[in-house]
Amino acid sequence: MSMNKTFGSTLIIAGTTIGAGMLALPLASAGLGFATATVTMFGIWALMIYTALLMLEVHQHADQNATLHTLAHQLLGRKGQIIASFAMMFLFYSLCSAYIAGGGAQLNDKLNNWIGLDVNPQTGTIIFTLMIASVVSVGTHSVDIVNRVLFALKVVALAIMLGLLVPHVQGGHLVDMPVQKGLLLSALPVVFTSFGFHGSIPSIVRYVGLDIKALRKIMVIGSAVPLMIYVLWQVASQGVLSQPDLMASTTLGAFIATLSNMLHNPMVSQSVSIFADLALMTSFLGVSLGLFDFLSDTLNRGSQTKGRIQTALVTFLPPLCFALFYPQGFIMALGYAAIALVILAIFLPVAMVKAQRKQRPDHCTSYQVSGGTPALVLVTGIGIMIISAQFLQMAGVIPAVG
C-alpha cells in the first residue's frame, strides 16, 4: 500500500474535519472558558476516533468498495439501510448547501472587490460549485491532489492568523470559568459537528484498500491534526478576547470585526477570511466526495464517464438549487446537522458492529475495537445526550450558543 495514498488520505480526513465550522468554535465555547472547552474537545475527539475505528471493524469483512448504504443493508436489513441513507443524505445535502452558499458568496466578494468584476451573486455560486464538482467527479485521486494544495495553503493562512493573534494573548482570559453550567450542554452539538469526518471513511477505504493498520493510522492522525489546530485556535481567540467580548460576538462577522478593532490590524480580518475560504473548500471536497460515492453506490451508477456525470448531477444540483433560490435556508437545516451526524457517526457504527459481532462470534483473528459492550453503551448514551442538547436548545430550555 502506497505511503503516498496514506499521506493523502490523512489530509483528506483532516481537511474534511477542519471546515468553516472551526470558526464557530470560539463563539460556541465562549461561555465555557478555555480549560472546559479544551477538555470537551478532547472528549469529543476520543468519541469520534472510537466510532471511526468501529467503522473500520465493519469494513474489514465487506467489499473494498462498500459504502454505508451497502454496509447498513448487509448488517441491519432494509430498515437500517433506509435510516442510514436518510441520515447520510440529510447531513451531506445540508452541509453541501451551506458550503455552496458560503463559498459562492465568498467567491463573489473576491471577484467583485479583489478582481474588479461586476458579477451577480448567482454567478459566484455557480462557478464555485462547478469548480468543486469537476474535481470530485474525476475521482478520489483528484480530490487527494487538490486537497493537498489547499491544505498546504490553509496551514500557511492559519500560521499567519495565529502569528497575528498569539502575541496578544492574555493569560488571565484563559483561566476564566464557565459562566453557566447549561452552556456546556449547549456547546456539545457544535463541538461534536466540528469533528465530523465519518461520511468520508468509505471513500478512504475504497482509495487505500482494506489495510486496517494503515487505515487506523489515517483515522487517528487525520483527526488529531484538527484537534491540535482547534486547541491553538482556542488559545488565540479566547486568549485575545475576554468572555464578555466573545459572548457579545454572536456572528462570525462580529467576531472578526471585534478582533480587528481590538488589535487595530486589518490583516486579521483578511487572514481569517482567507483561512475560512480554504477551510470551506477542503471540507466541501471531503463531504461532497463522501456523498458522491454514496449516491454512486445507492443508484448503481458505473465508474464510466456517463455514470459519473449522472452521479455528479444528483450530488451537486439539489444543494446548488437550494443555495440559489433560498440562500439563507441552509442555516435552519444546519441546526439539525448534529442530529444526523449522531445517527451517522455513533448510532449506526454501534448497531452495525453489534450485528457483525453477533453474526461472527468467532472473530478472534479479526480486528476488533476494544471496550466491548460497555463502551458501545457509553457512546450510545453520549449520542443521546448530544441529540437531547440540540432539541433542548431549539426549544429554549437551555441557552443558545454560536
Report pLDDT digits (tens) over 159-197: 888 888 888 888 777 777 666 666 788 888 888 988 988
Band (223; pLDDT cuts 50, 70, 90): very high
Considering the entire predicted model, what is its pTM? 0.82
Cell numbers 481569517: residue: 272
First CA to last CA across the chain, in angstroms? 42
Q: How many CB atoms lie within 10 A of CB 321?
A: 12
pLDDT of residue 130: 92
CA 7 to chain centre: 19
- Taking domain 3-394, whether its CATH number is 1.20.1740.10 is answered by yes
Are the C-beta atoms of residues 294 and 70 closer than 8 Å to each other?
Answer: no
**What is the residue extent of each domain of the chain?**
3-394
pLDDT at residue 376 in the model: 96
DSSP conformational letter for 345: I
Which residue's entry shows cell 469529543?
Answer: 44
pLDDT at position 397: 83
pLDDT tens-place string over residues 46-100: 999 999 999 999 998 888 888 888 898 889 988 888 888 888 888 888 888 878 8
More confident of the two residues 216 and 33: 216
347 neighbors 318 (Cβ within 8 angstroms): no
341-359: pLDDT as tens digits? 999 999 999 999 999 988 8
Cell numbers placing 171: 493569560
Average pLDDT over residues 303-328: 85
Residue 315's pLDDT is 92
